[in-house]
């Protein structure tokens, strides 16, 4: 059967076999699915920004236009020897399964089909079609175990020139692993906070992910994602007046944005409602905040969330570079995000 165990996937992606023309990457860890799909796509050597060579399709488009995937795969490349068809948001859509089954039976010689799937159960139609196919490969993505988390920590911190003590590593690992996207976000935030240092300490970890810090900044974060200016400014000023560094609000907001990204992906890939996405969130959303988070999912698009995450990362770096201006830099950036939240509300 054409499939790999979860621990074999990275090794296969390091040197994928060209005989497999249909690649299904699936699993409950949407961040890891997306990361590995990008890795496979980059490994083809094709220009990913060329729409003639790399064709991106949403699975729902295939469902609305039966046969489209097969037609795209059979199109002769005009500007290269190979093409890549990249399908996102795949589930068990009938037309998609039909097209994939046909392509597995008669695989194109000059085209690879990369499919990003959700949490497909064993025996589901799309997963079964790929696993049974001689020219197809199924790659599962599950939440990182201890070894996987260690590898991501080493990769991210090592790339930033940071070491981490054993105690700090254990504290960090206790708060990572639910989703690769969220894990990457937390680690990127940590590297920004520790910019200029040589080692990550337990104090750094406690400051970034401590429960007290999270609870004390919830009021400001909720006002930001809800687009409530006065509520944000009041909460932010009280937070600073209590002697807390502005970084904690930036950190908590970035953590919330990453959580919204994970839930938004679940809504788009699985077709679930905002309330269902919030109910299935890990770690769980505290009951009193569920309605606020549900409403935020309705007004923040995936693009807006990505832009917000990038803005926050840049702001955190600026506050580290100019600590004397940290309060005003943070307030300006967070007010801009509050404007985005208000736009969505209209």
- On the question of pLDDT at 286 being above 80, the answer is no
Non-local CB neighbours of 339 within 8 Å, separated by 6+ positions: 227
What pLDDT, on the 0 to 100 scale, is given for residue 200? 92
Give the model's pLDDT for residue 216: 55
- Residue 138 has what pLDDT? 95
Which helix (H) or strand (E) segment is 103 a member of?
helix 94-105
- Cross-strand pairs, 268: none
Show the DSSP H helices in 142-246 as ranges: 146-159, 166-173, 180-193, 202-209, 211-226, 229-241
Least confident of 17-26, 178-187, 249-258: 178-187
Q: Give the torsion through C-alpha atoms of 23, 25, 31, 37, to 10 deg.
A: -10
How far is it, in rounded angstroms, from Cα 317 to Cα 231? Answer: 26
Mean pLDDT for 198-219 is 69
Which of 78-82, 208-212, 223-227, 323-327 is least confident? 208-212
> Is 209 within 8 Å of 240 (Cβ atoms)?
no
Q: What is the rounded average pLDDT of the residues 313-338? A: 93
Mean pLDDT, rounded, for 32-48: 93
Instruction: Tell me whether strands 199-200 and 163-164 are parallel, antiparallel or unpaired.
Output: parallel
Reply yes or no on whether the pLDDT at 210 is more than 50.
no
**How many angstroms separate the CA atoms of 244 and 172, rounded?**
22
Name which of 21-35, 150-164, 281-295 the model is least confident about.
281-295
DSSP 8-state assignment for residue 110: S
Does the pLDDT value for residue 215 go beyond 50?
A: no
Q: Which of 72-76, 115-119, 174-178, 305-309 has the lowest mean pLDDT?
A: 174-178
Mean local confidence (pLDDT), 322-344: 92
Per-residue pLDDT, 345: 60
Residue 294, CB-side half-sphere exposure with 13 Å CA sphere: 15
Tell me: pLDDT of 70 over 90.
no
Report pTM: 0.57
Task: For the chain, count helices (H), then strands (E).
Answer: 17, 7
- The pLDDT of residue 212: 35
Mean pLDDT of the residues in the chain: 87
With DSSP H G I counted as helix, E B as strand and the rest as coil, what are the percentages for the chain, rounded to 5?
Answer: 60, 10, 30
């Amino acid at each position: 059967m054409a499939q790999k165990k979860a621990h074999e996937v990275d090794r296969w992606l390091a040197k994928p076999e060209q005989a497999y023309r249909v690649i299904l990457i699936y699993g409950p860890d949407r961040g890891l699915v997306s990361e590995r799909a990008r890795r496979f796509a980059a490994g083809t050597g094709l220009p990913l920004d060329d729409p003639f060579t790399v064709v991106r399709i949403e699975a729902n488009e295939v469902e609305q236009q039966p046969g489209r995937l097969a037609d795209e795969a059979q199109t002769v490349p005009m500007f290269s020897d190979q093409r890549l068809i990249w399908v996102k948001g795949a589930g068990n859509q009938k037309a998609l399964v039909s097209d994939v089954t046909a392509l597995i039976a008669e695989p194109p010689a000059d085209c690879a089909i990369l499919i990003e799937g959700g949490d497909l159960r064993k025996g589901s139609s799309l997963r079964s079609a790929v696993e049974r196919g001689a020219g197809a490969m199924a790659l599962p993505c599950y939440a990182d175990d201890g070894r996987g988390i260690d590898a991501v920590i080493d990769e991210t911190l090592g790339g930033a020139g940071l070491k981490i003590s054993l105690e700090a590593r254990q504290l960090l690992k206790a708060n990572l692993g639910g989703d690769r996207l969220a894990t990457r976000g937390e680690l990127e935030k940590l590297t920004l906070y520790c910019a200029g240092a040589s080692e990550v300490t337990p104090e750094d970890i406690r400051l970034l992910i401590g429960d007290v810090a999270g609870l004390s900044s919830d009021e400001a974060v909720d006002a930001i994602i809800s687009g409530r200016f006065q509520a944000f400014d009041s909460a932010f000023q009280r937070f600073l007046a209590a002697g807390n560094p502005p970084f904690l609000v930036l950190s908590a907001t970035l953590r919330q944005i990453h959580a919204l990204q994970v839930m938004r992906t679940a809504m788009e890939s699985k077709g679930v409602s905002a309330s269902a996405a919030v109910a299935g969130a890990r770690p769980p959303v505290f009951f009193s905040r569920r309605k606020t988070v549900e409403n935020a999912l309705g007004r923040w698009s995936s693009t807006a969330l990505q832009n917000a995450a990038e803005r926050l990362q840049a702001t955190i770096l600026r506050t580290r570079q100019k600590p004397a201006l940290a309060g005003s830099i943070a307030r300006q950036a967070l007010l801009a995000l509050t404007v985005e939240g208000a736009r969505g509300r209209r």
